[in-house]
């Protein structure tokens, strides 16, 4: 039991410097915030967001499989978390903004399939989660494009220097909001896994998240955020297209809106996908040719291959260890 809790908090810690970098990438790249200030703010806002919501945790903990029906639930979760952590570290090392959500969900499905059998996998719940993960980046791209087109129309006759100066200040607010929404969704994934473990080990018979789990997961993510994810920030903030403050504002507002809407619907979405897609949508509205689509293509490939790779990886880890 203790191993699962430690691994879940380690996953949350890694998620902090892996995914939270996405939330502050645009504000750092446009110099709206200094790196240290951005990281400190993101850590605080992630913590606050994490302790205020639990709907996503319940979805993660009960939709893929019924923890009470698994005799080997702790072993399944151990394989799940090891696979997700390994994939997160690999993609972080290469600066690829992949999805921690995809990694965790895919790894859990793979470990349940191999460790408990396909009949223990809740295919309808798994399908619902995957649909949310697939459609959220499409929605973020479209909204980002629309928001940027509207801003271009509103400020078409204003001086670019004046406009960007104003939006640089507003980016501080949108970066804070985006960090908060990241905490409301991503930190809950570790909460859901720990609560899954508690039910499996018969410490409790419901999916309500205990206060100590909320505080532990929120703290782990905040500490991970404080480390920073500079490789991801560089990719998100500078390599997709040259982001100006008005673009950063539009992308942050879009990403935060999509993520928080998913949180209210109790759907675990990928903050990486939402924010990256928002940036791509905003960049397309700015000038389609300004976006480095070759890099965007490599990012999308990483998204597509994540779930099957971690499913296989978690299954192999389960076979080797148990």
pLDDT tens per residue across span 183-215: 888 878 888 899 989 988 889 888 888 989 988
Q: What is the pLDDT of residues 77-119, one digit of tens each?
A: 999 999 999 998 888 787 676 778 889 989 999 999 999 999 9
Angle at 51 between CA 88 and CA 7, to 5 degrees: 35
Backbone angles phi, psi at 260, to 5 degrees: -70, -35
C-alpha–C-alpha distance, residues 244 and 145, integer Å: 15
Q: How many CB atoms lie within 10 A of CB 305?
A: 13
Number of folded domains in the chain? Answer: 1
Identify whether 81 is part of a domain: yes
Mean of pLDDT values over 221-227? 78
As a dihedral over the C-alpha atoms of residue 286, residue 287, residue 289, residue 294, rounded to 10 degrees, the angle is 20
Identify whether 96 is part of a domain: yes
Give the residue with greater pLDDT, 318 vs 27: 318
Identify whether 104 is part of a domain: yes
Identify whether 322 is part of a domain: no
pLDDT of 200: 87
How many Å is the maximal CA-CA distance in the chain?
66
C-alpha–C-alpha distance, residues 259 and 262, integer Å: 5
Domain of residue 189 covers 2-317
Identify whether 201 is part of a domain: yes
- Selection from 184, 205, 192 nearest residue 105 by Cα: 192
C-alpha–C-alpha distance, residues 313 and 204, integer Å: 29
């Amino acid at each position: 039991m203790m191993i699962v809790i430690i691994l879940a908090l380690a996953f949350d810690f890694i998620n902090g410097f892996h995914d939270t970098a996405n939330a502050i990438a645009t504000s750092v790249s446009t110099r709206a915030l200094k790196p240290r200030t951005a990281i400190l703010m993101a850590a605080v806002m992630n913590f606050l967001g994490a302790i205020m919501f639990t709907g996503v945790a319940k979805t993660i903990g009960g939709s893929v499989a019924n923890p009470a029906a698994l005799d080997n639930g702790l072993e399944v979760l151990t394989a799940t978390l090891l696979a997700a952590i390994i994939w997160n570290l690999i993609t972080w090392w290469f600066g690829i903004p992949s999805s921690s959500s995809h990694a965790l969900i895919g790894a859990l499905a793979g470990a349940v399939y191999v460790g408990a059998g396909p009949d223990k996998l809740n295919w309808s719940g798994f399908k619902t989660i995957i649909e949310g993960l697939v459609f959220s980046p499409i929605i973020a791209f479209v909204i980002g494009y629309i928001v940027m087109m509207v801003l271009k129309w509103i400020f078409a006759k204003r001086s670019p220097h004046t406009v960007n100066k104003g939006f640089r200040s507003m980016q501080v607010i949108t970066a804070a909001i985006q960090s908060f929404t990241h905490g409301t969704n991503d930190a809950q994934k570790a909460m859901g896994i720990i609560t899954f473990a508690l039910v499996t080990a018969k410490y409790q018979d419901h999916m309500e998240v205990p206060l100590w789990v909320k505080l532990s997961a929120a703290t782990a993510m905040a500490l991970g955020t404080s480390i920073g994810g500079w490789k991801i920030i560089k990719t998100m903030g500078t390599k997709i297209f040259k982001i100006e403050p008005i673009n950063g504002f539009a992308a942050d507002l879009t990403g935060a809106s999509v993520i928080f809407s998913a949180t209210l619907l109790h759907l675990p979405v990928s903050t990486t996908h939402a924010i990256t897609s928002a940036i791509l949508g905003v960049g397309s509205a700015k000038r389609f040719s300004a976006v480095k689509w070759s890099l965007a293509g490599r990012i999308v490939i990483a998204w597509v291959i994540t779930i099957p790779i971690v499913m296989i990886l978690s299954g192999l880890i389960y076979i080797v260890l148990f």
